[in-house]
Amino acid sequence: GQSLEQPSEVTAVEGAIVQINCTYQTSGFYGLSWYQQHDGGAPTFLSYNALDGLEETGRFSSFLSRSDSYGYLLLQELQMKDSASYFCAVRAINTGGFKTIFGAGTRLFVKA
Amino acid sequence: DTEVTQTPKHLVMGMTNKKSLKCEQHMGHRAMYWYKQKAKKPPELMFVYSYEKLSINESVPSRFSPECPNSSLLNLHLHALQPEDSALYLCASSQESGDYEQYFGPGTRLTVT
């Protein structure tokens, strides 16, 4: 089966750094993605890790440890517009091909 | 053009109605997806089309019937839905099936009365 765990809510102040963790148990694991979704909006792709280590894209970084079945999204220099839901998603292969399975999501509240 | 469009934005239908949701992309992507998202929940995969052929059906009830008329279009035909089917229906596309970067449309907010 597939399961992902991430905190349901995180609150941080503007300008701070926040880390959103994700642990997974997935057969056929290939990689871990992160998506952002504002209320009423569509999910938008942020990053993907297939190999262990840190990937940096501007203010956002994502980390993966395959041996620990663990990853995180790091958001730096938080801005009010970063208030949104963040989903980790595993990319896994099984019968029928690759699938993307989303975690339950973490709601990030950024305070002034 | 990196946009996935969906129509209609909102849909209210009775349990005996038949309606269709439409999705379009012009990025040359060969994979298209339907997801269902309930409030404060993650998107749940329903169907995957790869090169216009259905490759994954996540045991979705037959009252939901997908169709991929061509590589740019994806439809979801709805019939005899239940109130619990009320949700946001998201369409997505990617270069190839299972690619990690999927482009999502804005969704259709469906209410079944």
User: Would you state the pLDDT for residue A5?
Assistant: 96
User: Would you state the pLDDT for residue B73?
Assistant: 98
- A99 token code pair: 């699938």
Q: B101: burial class by Cβ within 10 Å (0-12, 13-18, 19+)? A: middle
| Low-confidence residues of chain A: pLDDT under 50 | none
User: Would you state the pLDDT for residue B7?
Assistant: 97
Pairwise CB contact (< 8 Å): A100 & B90: no
Alpha carbon of A4 to those of A14, A34, A71, B31, B86: distances in Å?
Answer: 28, 12, 11, 24, 25
User: Would you state the pLDDT for residue A97?
Assistant: 82
Distance, CA of A25 to chain centre: 15
**Which residue is associated with the tokens 């297939």?**
A50
Q: Is the pLDDT of residue B105 over 80?
A: yes
Does the CB of A45 have a partner CB in chain B at under 8 Å?
yes
User: Would you state the pLDDT for residue B1?
Assistant: 65
Tens-digit pLDDT profile for residues B27-49? 999 999 999 999 999 999 999 99
Question: Where residue B2 falls among pLDDT bands split at 50, 70, 90?
Answer: low
Question: A27 to chain B nearest CA, in Å?
Answer: 15
Q: Is the pLDDT of residue B99 over 80?
A: yes
Share above pLDDT 90 across residues of chain B, in percent, rounded to a whole number: 91
- B1 token code pair: 């053009």
Does the CB of A99 have a partner CB in chain B at under 8 Å?
yes
Partners of residue A108 in chain B, C-beta under 8 Å? none
| Strand partners of residue B22 | B7, B75
Partners of residue B55 in chain A, C-beta under 8 Å? 96-97
Which alpha helices (DSSP H) does chain A contain, by range? none
Question: B107 to chain A nearest CA, in Å?
Answer: 7
Pairwise CB contact (< 8 Å): A96 & B42: no
